[in-house]
Amino acid sequence: MRITKARLAHIVFESDDWASKTFDIVLLFLIFGSILVAILDSVASLRVKYGEIFLILEWMFTILFSIEYGLRVWLSRKPSNYIFSFFGMVDLLAILPTYVSFFVVNSQFLTVVRALRLLRVIRILKLGRYVAEAEYLTRSLKASSHKIMIFIGFVVTIVLIMGTLMFIIEGPQHGFTSIPVGMYWAIVTLTTVGFGDITPVTALGQFVSSIIMLLGYAIIAVPTGIVSSEMASQKKKMDNEASTYCPSCERTGLSKADYYCRYCGERMP
Amino acid sequence: MRITKARLAHIVFESDDWASKTFDIVLLFLIFGSILVAILDSVASLRVKYGEIFLILEWMFTILFSIEYGLRVWLSRKPSNYIFSFFGMVDLLAILPTYVSFFVVNSQFLTVVRALRLLRVIRILKLGRYVAEAEYLTRSLKASSHKIMIFIGFVVTIVLIMGTLMFIIEGPQHGFTSIPVGMYWAIVTLTTVGFGDITPVTALGQFVSSIIMLLGYAIIAVPTGIVSSEMASQKKKMDNEASTYCPSCERTGLSKADYYCRYCGERMP
Amino acid sequence: MRITKARLAHIVFESDDWASKTFDIVLLFLIFGSILVAILDSVASLRVKYGEIFLILEWMFTILFSIEYGLRVWLSRKPSNYIFSFFGMVDLLAILPTYVSFFVVNSQFLTVVRALRLLRVIRILKLGRYVAEAEYLTRSLKASSHKIMIFIGFVVTIVLIMGTLMFIIEGPQHGFTSIPVGMYWAIVTLTTVGFGDITPVTALGQFVSSIIMLLGYAIIAVPTGIVSSEMASQKKKMDNEASTYCPSCERTGLSKADYYCRYCGERMP
Amino acid sequence: MRITKARLAHIVFESDDWASKTFDIVLLFLIFGSILVAILDSVASLRVKYGEIFLILEWMFTILFSIEYGLRVWLSRKPSNYIFSFFGMVDLLAILPTYVSFFVVNSQFLTVVRALRLLRVIRILKLGRYVAEAEYLTRSLKASSHKIMIFIGFVVTIVLIMGTLMFIIEGPQHGFTSIPVGMYWAIVTLTTVGFGDITPVTALGQFVSSIIMLLGYAIIAVPTGIVSSEMASQKKKMDNEASTYCPSCERTGLSKADYYCRYCGERMP
């Protein structure tokens, strides 16, 4: 059996038969493998021991990804469309760092770019069964993005005022060395993270902090409320879209499980 | 083209043509700029280097804001109304600190007042497209404010009892030096911030803390529940308001599920 | 004007005219005052300075509360009913500690009992306008208490298993000195408080911790979901109770703001 | 009265009369007792004092559980079914560690296995009144599990990218010794636990942290929203199931708002 270009394109771009599914799964393993190697390589003790093996594996992954990238460019109907698409850029960013590291010595920034490989997983999983749920989440978040923007603006205002206040109350001698540090502390506190690297020491500082914390406790409800109510309304909309209507009285909002229209009593088709 | 007083008032107070929009945007930049300068000025290392530039910029901003304030007073139909309005006070507070600092040496409190400049952003953004969403949030929060007040009262009672309890169990030798400090710790714990500056050391103290934490975990649900259900009901109300109208009495706010207009009794189409 | 016993009982127990409202407000101030004194008395530096004044104030508050308690007993129709009621016990507990401290030297436990005075505020505020909202919250919490019990049981199981696991992984040398300490740490982590007094040091410990944290992040949604959905349903029920019905077609669920029945078109009464 | 095998099986497996209920309650006490002994045994100071008593109690519990296990195997209609069922395995795991510890010296791992005894409580409580609520919770969680999986995947991606970023920004000298440690820190921060064992020191690190924290604050709403909306919809479904039934075809699950039975088309009363 000779593999034609059309067959190869099917294997690379689709995911509906044995060969194309295997291609996707192998790719998934390669992506997770390359990320695992990058993670392990950052551990000093492992780097000393297995540094060379990691380098060889990294090059192996890069070459395989390069072949895959070449295939995608070659097999696309309009290569330029693929190259400048979001996933085309991600694919390129997945292989570039290793080649660049050949010229640039010890560039740590490339490690971050390498972590972007994880984004490639999205495309492969997109073919799976999680699409509908992901779309539902995305829709809900998009619908509530305006409200969340206002909320973030509101939070930033509180952070600025509280950060300035604490900088003045506690001062540099208690770790609040500047307004930006005060704002960092205010964010740490308002989000209830509470590292404890900088903490109020004076009575007044602790009193103001208490107010910030209670405030944070109360307003944590807001984004949750926004997203929850948006999700509930999205859910309803999707349920409605899946519902049907009565051809006799033309009323909508009927369940497909109904035998008779609940408004006019006519038998449903 | 000579600019009349009416035209100037339009530029300053409205935001519907090129000139008035530009005025707003320039003002926005000035506000953010003046806040940025105040923030950077608080960083010791930058103050040493650029302290003089910051001072000059601060005076420049203050003079521009003073001119703007003067314009607003002059252009208002009833200047006293503007001066004693909320935003009038904010505008005055935005320029006063710099002048006061001329007489009072090294007054850090003025920096906080300066941070209030951020409030001025609200008025300008009010003209933007986020008003409907902001109103929705405000309405939801107002509707749930009574319930949140009770909740805060309930939290304060727990905080007082738990703070007293921990003060007695752990005592000053473990950092719980007084009931106010115990209450500060209780707030830090109940809101799940958890700085770790004061922590229980005795077995009994850790046991009581565990109960406080589980309590906090359980009651964090309450404000969320309040706001969520309030938002859902606000959303419903707003959806209803937008829904349909009666062609007979031309009243809006009717549900599409209604058979008859609930205001004039006419059969709905 | 001579004050009769009936008039006095009215002043003490009711809250509908000038005299009885004043009585409640004075009582509120006394309660908050006595608590404030107890709090300030715990601050070492203030105790040294004003210790004697605090003692005198404390005795003054206690004598006033004793008179009030005596009045309530005397004015009750069945004194034994009042004495053994919940608020009767609280009123007694509010005055006992001071008298007991006369015999028992330096008993700190009494301070906690004194903090219970805050509970007395509830009765007085009960007469206020917050009753409906408080009832709504209580109803929602009661309706969801069964589910929250299961949830707490589930959390305790996770805490036991995770605490044991971390005790074995990290061991006493990293602060996990026993299973109870491990469980304390698990609660601190699962509730996202995160004091940082005990933290995992080994790689395995940090990995297991990460799983606990993600778990805690996911299950924090459960109590919120329970309370939210319960509140939404309570809200609906209360809205329904407040709604009216059409006397013509006898359908319920109509808003009192409607002019005509939306089902049969009949004019609403 | 001689106890037959059938009677004994009833006592062991059912829970509807005096004897079988007593059996369950005794078993509950034994399970909690054995766990309490394991917990107390881990406290060094108690182990020194009461170590021998704990050992004797542990053996006593194990022997009783062994007898119970033997009874369950003997009384089952198909013993192999019981042995390989989930609870059969748990019952075996509850007694094995003590016997194994006879041969293996000082094996701490067995303590974790012993903690699994708590799972046995589930079976006994299953007979209680909490089943309906537990089922409701389980149904809601199952229905939202897909969405939560996507969400966890999304969180892991953020954690990987942020962990790598912070490892590069802060570096080993500030505690971020490797990417896995950076990821551990990112999880600690994103879940708002915030131990404070590793904290950003550089200005850039604090800025990136602030973004992570605000992100975590915003996305904490997502799982809550998912579970809340799922619970609301489950609640509705269950309410509907309980609602009304058609007197003509005797089918349940009809809404009281329906005009005609949606199954047989008969007019509803």
* Res. A128 pLDDT band, cuts 50 70 90: very low
In a domain, B265, yes or no: no
Residues D76 and D117 in one domain: yes
In a domain, D208, yes or no: yes
HSE on the CB side for C21, CA within 13 Å?
Answer: 4
**CATH number for the domain that contains residue B187:** 1.10.287.70
- Residue of B168, B192, A177, A164 lying closest to B181 (CA atoms): B168
Amino acid at residue number B212: I
Residues D114 and D16 in one domain: yes
The DSSP element (H or E) to which C58 belongs, if any, is helix C44-75
What are B81-121's pLDDT values in tens digits? 888 887 788 888 888 888 877 776 655 666 666 767 776 77
Under 8 Å CB pairs connecting chains A and B tally to 132
Contacts of D257 (CB under 8 A, 6+ apart): none
**A-interface mutation test, from B34, B35, B36, B39, most A Cβ less than 10 A away:** B39
Cβ proximity of A185 and A166 under 8 Å: yes
Question: What pLDDT was estimated at residue C132?
Answer: 59
Q: What is the mean predicted confidence (pLDDT) over B52-76?
A: 90
3-state secondary structure chain D: CCCCHHHHHHHHHCCCCHHHHHHHHHHHHHHHHHHHHHHHHCCHHHHHHHHHHHHHHHHHHHHHHHHHHHHHHHHCCCHHHHHCCHHHHHHHHHHHHHHHCCCCCCCCHHHHHHHCCHHHHHHHHHCCCCHHHHHHHHHHHHHHHHHHHHHHHHHHHHHHHHHHHHHHHHCHHHCCCCHHHHHHHHHHHHCCCCCCCCCCCCHHHHHHHHHHHHHHHHHCHHHHHHHHHHHHHHHHHHHHHHCEECCCCCCEEECCCCCECCCCCCECC
3-state secondary structure B220-244: CHHHHHHHHHHHHHHHHHHHHHHCE
Contacts of A223 (CB under 8 A, 6+ apart): A148, A151, D217, D218, D220, D221
* Res. C183 pLDDT band, cuts 50 70 90: very high
On average, the pLDDT of chain C sits at: 78
- Distance (Å, rounded) from C-alpha B141 to C-alpha B153? 17
For residue C231, the chain B residues in CB contact (below 8 A) are 225-226, 228-229
For residue C227, give the chain D residue with the closest CA. Answer: D228
What are D2-28's pLDDT values in tens digits? 678 888 888 888 777 888 888 888 888
DSSP state of A172: G
Interchain pair B255, C262: CB under 8 A = yes
Residues A121 and A146 in one domain: no
* Res. C269 pLDDT band, cuts 50 70 90: low
Query: Which of A92, A126, A160 marks a domain boundary?
Result: A126
How distant is the Cα of B256 from the closest Cα of chain C, in angstroms?
11
What are C70-125's pLDDT values in tens digits? 998 998 888 888 888 877 888 888 888 788 777 766 556 666 667 677 767 766 65
In a domain, C266, yes or no: no
Cβ proximity of A28 and A64 under 8 Å: no
Counting residues of chain D whose pLDDT is more than 90, the rounded percentage is 14
In a domain, D132, yes or no: no
Give the other-Cβ count within 10 Å of D250's Cβ. 10
Q: Say whether C245 sits in a helix, a strand or coil.
A: coil
Q: Is the pLDDT of residue B184 over 90?
A: yes
Greater pLDDT, D193 or A98: D193
Greater pLDDT, C226 or B105: C226
Q: Is the pLDDT of residue A262 over 80?
A: no
Token pair belonging to C66? 């004793």
Greater pLDDT, D109 or A230: A230
Written as one string, the DSSP assignment of A52-110 is: HHHHHHHHHHHHHHHHHHHHHHHHSSSHHHHHTSHHHHHHHHHHHHHHHHHHSTT-THH
Cβ proximity of B183 and B160 under 8 Å: yes
* Res. B236 pLDDT band, cuts 50 70 90: low
Residues A112 and A184 in one domain: no
> Is A263's Cβ below 8 Å from some Cβ in B?
no
What are D24-60's pLDDT values in tens digits? 888 888 888 888 888 888 888 888 999 899 989 988 9
Interchain pair B221, C230: CB under 8 A = no
> Is C101's Cβ below 8 Å from some Cβ in B?
no
Question: What pLDDT was estimated at residue D128?
Answer: 45
Weakest-pLDDT range from A234-238, C66-70, D203-207: A234-238
- Distance (Å, rounded) from C-alpha A132 to C-alpha C204? 36
Interchain pair A136, D147: CB under 8 A = yes
DSSP state of B258: -
How distant is the Cα of B7 from the closest Cα of chain D, in angstroms?
43
For residue C199, the chain D residues in CB contact (below 8 A) are 195, 197
Q: Say whether B77 sits in a helix, a strand or coil.
A: coil
Greater pLDDT, A16 or D128: A16
- Residue of D73, D64, D66 lying closest to D93 (CA atoms): D66
**D-interface mutation test, from A35, A133, A229, A266, most D Cβ less than 10 A away:** A133
- Residue of B237, B229, B232, B140 lying closest to C231 (CA atoms): B229
Weakest-pLDDT range from B116-130, C25-39, C149-163, C200-214: B116-130
**B-interface mutation test, from C42, C139, C226, most B Cβ less than 10 A away:** C42
Query: Which of D93, D126, D159 marks a domain boundary?
Result: D126
Question: What pLDDT was estimated at residue B128?
Answer: 45
Residues C146 and C122 in one domain: no
For residue A190, give the chain B residue with the closest CA. Answer: B193
Which of D:133-172 have CB within 8 Å of A?
146-147, 149-151, 153, 157, 160-161, 164-165, 167-168, 172
Q: Say whether C177 sits in a helix, a strand or coil.
A: coil
* Res. A109 pLDDT band, cuts 50 70 90: low
What are A181-222's pLDDT values in tens digits? 999 999 999 888 889 899 999 999 999 999 888 877 777 767
Query: Which of D126, D151, D176 marks a domain boundary?
Result: D126
Question: What pLDDT was estimated at residue D181?
Answer: 92
Question: What pLDDT was estimated at residue C243?
Answer: 54
What are D75-85's pLDDT values in tens digits? 888 888 888 88
Residues B77 and B171 in one domain: no
What are D112-164's pLDDT values in tens digits? 667 677 767 766 655 444 555 666 667 776 777 777 777 777 788 888 888 88
Residues C18 and C106 in one domain: yes
How distant is the Cα of C218 from the closest Cα of chain D, in angstroms?
6
Greater pLDDT, B101 or C204: C204
> Is D34's Cβ below 8 Å from some Cβ in C?
no
- Residue of D165, D154, D146 lying closest to D215 (CA atoms): D154
Residues C10 and C111 in one domain: yes
- Residue of B147, B130, B156 lying closest to B228 (CA atoms): B147
In a domain, A90, yes or no: yes
In a domain, D80, yes or no: yes
* Res. C127 pLDDT band, cuts 50 70 90: very low
> Is B180's Cβ below 8 Å from some Cβ in D?
no
Residues D99 and D146 in one domain: no
How distant is the Cα of C160 from the closest Cα of chain D, in angstroms?
7
Residue D58, phi-psi category: left (phi > 0), alpha (psi -120 to 50), beta (remainder): alpha
In a domain, B264, yes or no: no
- Distance (Å, rounded) from C-alpha D113 to C-alpha C165? 10
Greater pLDDT, A147 or D165: D165
Cβ proximity of B33 and B61 under 8 Å: yes
> Is A101's Cβ below 8 Å from some Cβ in B?
no
Count of the separate structural domains present in chain A: 2
Q: At what angle do helices B203-219 and B221-242 cross, to 10 degrees?
A: 10
Interchain pair B191, A229: CB under 8 A = no
Give the one of D196, D224, D228 whose C-beta lies nearest to B196's C-beta: D196
For residue A216, give the chain B residue with the closest CA. Answer: B191
What are D196-230's pLDDT values in tens digits? 899 999 999 999 999 888 877 777 767 777 777 77
Residues B155 and B112 in one domain: no
Q: Is the pLDDT of residue D176 over 70?
A: yes
> Is D217's Cβ below 8 Å from some Cβ in A?
yes
Question: What pLDDT was estimated at residue C205?
Answer: 92
**B-interface mutation test, from D217, D227, D228, D230, most B Cβ less than 10 A away:** D228
CA angle (D72, D78, D84) in 5-degree steps: 75
Give the one of A172, A213, A232 whose C-beta lies nearest to B187's C-beta: A213
Give the one of C194, C196, C228 whose C-beta lies nearest to A228's C-beta: C228
Residues B226 and B113 in one domain: no
Give the one of D194, D224, D228 whose C-beta lies nearest to B194's C-beta: D194
> Is A206's Cβ below 8 Å from some Cβ in B?
yes
Chains that touch D (3 or more CB pairs under 8 A): A, B, C
**CATH number for the domain that contains residue C107:** 1.20.120
Q: Is the pLDDT of residue A106 over 80?
A: no
In a domain, C81, yes or no: yes
Question: What pLDDT was estimated at residue C53?
Answer: 92
Greater pLDDT, D11 or C176: C176
Domain housing A12 = 5-126
Question: What pLDDT was estimated at residue D7?
Answer: 86
Q: What is the mean predicted confidence (pLDDT) over B125-152?
A: 65
Handedness of CA B31, B37, B39, B42 (dihedral sign): negative
Q: Is the pLDDT of residue B220 over 50?
A: yes
Question: What pLDDT was estimated at residue A53?
Answer: 93
For residue D192, the chain B residues in CB contact (below 8 A) are 192
Residue D65, phi-psi category: left (phi > 0), alpha (psi -120 to 50), beta (remainder): alpha
Written as one string, the DSSP assignment of A199-266 is: ---SHHHHHHHHHHHHHHHHHTHHHHHHHHHHHHHHHHHHHHHH-B--TTT----B-TT-SB-TTT-P
On average, the pLDDT of chain B sits at: 78
Q: Is the pLDDT of residue B251 over 60?
A: no
Residues A76 and A144 in one domain: no
Cβ proximity of C154 and C170 under 8 Å: no
- Residue of C144, C224, A205, C121 lying closest to B156 (CA atoms): C121
Contacts of C179 (CB under 8 A, 6+ apart): C163, C164, C167, D38, D39, D42, D43, D111
Q: What is the mean predicted confidence (pLDDT) over C189-196?
A: 88
Greater pLDDT, C6 or B138: C6
